[in-house]
Amino acid sequence: MSAIALTDHNTLAGAVRFYQAALEAGVKPIIGVEFTIEPVLPRLQEDAERPPHLVLLGENNEGYSNLCRLVTAARLGEARRESAFSAAYEG
């Protein structure tokens, strides 16, 4: 195995520990987040048994930084809707 990914649910709490363990094992760590999102259209909310999820992976340091920003925004209630994820984040 050359790489492994971890996606915490709405957080990056395990990222540092995971990153260090993967490097020690000689495996490339890929850090990500599984976000719970609120649909923009009420119809989609009614049809869903549970809120939809969106998995984002950070490709590099810039990607990790963007994940940190998104997690912070979500925690502050600023990025729980689909439209908040439409911004062009790279990495």
pLDDT at 53: 86
Angle at 27 between CA 2 and CA 60, to 5 degrees: 90
Read off the pTM: 0.74
What are the pLDDT tens digits along the chain (91 aa)? 899 999 999 999 999 999 999 999 999 999 999 998 876 666 655 656 777 888 999 999 999 999 999 999 888 876 555 455 555 455 5
* SS3 per residue for 6-32: EEEECCCCCHHHHHHHHHHCCCEEEEE
